[in-house]
Amino acid sequence: MKQVNVSANANIALIKYWGKRDENLMLPTKSSLSLTLTALKTTTTIALNKEQHDCIEFDGHSDEQLQSPVRSFLETTRALFGINSHFSIISKNYFPTASGLASSASGFAALALGINSLCNLQLSMQEVSILARRGSGSAARSIYGGAVIWHRGDANDGSDSFAEPVLPASWWPDLRVLIAITTTAAKKVSSRAGMQQSVATSPRYQDWLIRSNNRLPAMITALRSRNIITVGSLSQADWCDMRDVMLSTTPSLNYWNEGSLNAIMGVKMLREQHGIACYVTTDAGPHVKVICLAVDAPVIMQKLQTLLGVSSVLESTIAGDPEVEIVE
Ligand code: PMV
């Protein structure tokens, strides 16, 4: 029986997405830009299930809470493409899930690519990105490696809100993203719920949209010229604004823990007191990602590993495109 094996990587946004203009179609309030990361890999095997239900397994478990968004994604996909079959899905994440390490990005990207091949839908990459977006916004970007932009789009039906590659993974081999893992516990407020609250209640939201939109072209220019100081500073500025939006949301969103704060302060110290080009960003979780160059990675890793609340540190380069293997 035909089976498709997909390997896709999660991404980290340098210019963030935090909020939707359409909850159902998962259309963002603004465009965003990310790097796909080698250290955050998901592999998914998908086949047709002869029985009239979907069989989903994550990391060897059948956890209902993790399965529920996948089930609704499969329903949406069946309805969109007139598919009558059910699926058997086995997915493995090589990093902690549901704690702000974007497992949904790699997971839904892998699923969208897998269903496209398994059901012979012959979708273009734009259409695969649009499909992945219905699972999780950031998944729209994970169908590519390298640096990737996800366009906000203007159309009400979401047909122009898809991701496109900006630069290939090979563009900047010296770029590193270090990931300080501060806990493996699942996050309390999902990104979906959190961003909805921010759009509705944060007084800083509109201001962030304007500032973040202005940063996007500057970020692309800085990536093209491999300017670590500008890439890091712009990314950190966008993260600071998103963090302010989160904190000024009602109820206030605080995704950080002691380890996160120690890592943020540790990186600031290395930058300001030792002149090392290292910059922080976080997402809807407590892990801290540090943007830097390969030459500085060992000393930054060493520092992060000594900090209270940091359990381990992953070192990532920029990942290439997902891989899809069809086994007949
Ligand atoms: O796609 P989601 O629902 O996992 O949201 C991702 C939101 C952030 O990670 C915080 C930012 C981003 O652009 O990835």
Residues 227 and 134 in one domain: no
10 Å Cβ neighbour count for 306? 10
241, containing H or E segment: helix 228-247
Separation of alpha carbons 245 and 223, rounded Å: 26
| 237 alpha carbon – ligand 1 mean position (Å) | 17
Q: ∠ at Cα 232 (229, 235), nearest 5°?
A: 145
Query: Ligand 1 within 6 A of 137 CB?
Result: yes
| 106 alpha carbon – ligand 1 mean position (Å) | 12
* CATH number of the CATH domain containing 41: 3.30.230.10
| 195 alpha carbon – ligand 1 mean position (Å) | 9
Residues 146 and 184 in one domain: no
| 212 alpha carbon – ligand 1 mean position (Å) | 15
Residues 164 and 256 in one domain: no
Q: Three-state DSSP class for 264?
A: helix
**Closest by Cα among 119, 175, 118 to 146:** 175
Query: What is the predicted pLDDT for the residue at 58?
Result: 83
**Residue reference for tokens 């398994």:** 118
Alpha helices (H) in 60-190, listed in sequence order: 64-81, 103-118, 125-135
Query: What is the predicted pLDDT for the residue at 188?
Result: 78
Residues 20 and 157 in one domain: yes
Residues 153 and 244 in one domain: no
Nearest-atom index, ligand 1, CA of 192: 3
- Full pLDDT tens readout for the chain, 328 residues: 899 999 999 999 999 999 999 999 999 999 999 999 999 999 999 999 999 999 999 887 777 777 889 999 999 999 999 999 999 999 998 876 545 555 789 999 999 999 999 999 999 999 999 999 999 999 999 999 999 999 999 999 999 999 999 999 999 999 999 999 997 666 678 899 999 999 999 999 999 999 999 999 999 999 999 999 999 999 999 999 999 999 999 999 999 999 999 999 999 999 999 999 999 999 998 999 999 999 999 999 999 999 999 999 999 999 999 999 999 8
Query: Ligand 1 within 6 A of 106 CB?
Result: no
| 324 alpha carbon – ligand 1 mean position (Å) | 24
Nearest-atom index, ligand 1, CA of 283: 10
Residues with Cβ within 8 Å of residue 25, at least 6 apart in sequence: 134, 157, 158, 161
Concatenating the DSSP letter of every residue in 220-235 gives HHHHHTT-HHHHHHHH
Domain count, the chain: 2
Query: What is the predicted pLDDT for the residue at 102?
Result: 59
Query: Ligand 1 within 6 A of 284 CB?
Result: yes
Residues 157 and 250 in one domain: no
Query: Ligand 1 within 6 A of 191 CB?
Result: yes
Query: What is the predicted pLDDT for the residue at 186?
Result: 62
CB-based burial label for 298 (10 Å; 0-12, 13-18, 19+): exposed
Nearest-atom index, ligand 1, CA of 17: 13
Query: What is the predicted pLDDT for the residue at 98?
Result: 46
- 0.85 exceeded by pTM: yes
Separation of alpha carbons 149 and 53, rounded Å: 35
Nearest-atom index, ligand 1, CA of 100: 9
Stated length of the chain: 328
Residues with Cβ within 8 Å of residue 295, at least 6 apart in sequence: 174
Mutate to test the pocket of ligand 1, among 16, 149, 177, 199 (most ligand atoms within 8 A of CB): 16
Give the domain range for residue 142. Answer: 3-169+319-327
Separation of alpha carbons 293 and 127, rounded Å: 34
Residues 158 and 180 in one domain: no
Query: Ligand 1 within 6 A of 283 CB?
Result: yes
Residues 158 and 17 in one domain: yes
Separation of alpha carbons 79 and 134, rounded Å: 12
**Closest by Cα among 192, 8, 36 to 115:** 8
Residues 257 and 150 in one domain: no
Q: Three-state DSSP class for 110?
A: helix
| 327 alpha carbon – ligand 1 mean position (Å) | 32
Separation of alpha carbons 253 and 179, rounded Å: 21
Residues 138 and 16 in one domain: yes
Nearest-atom index, ligand 1, CA of 138: 1
Query: With contact defined as beta carbons under 8 Å apart, do 103 and 93 qualify?
Result: yes
Query: Ligand 1 within 6 A of 97 CB?
Result: no
| 76 alpha carbon – ligand 1 mean position (Å) | 20
Residues 30 and 164 in one domain: yes
Residues 164 and 17 in one domain: yes
* CATH number of the CATH domain containing 200: 3.30.70.890
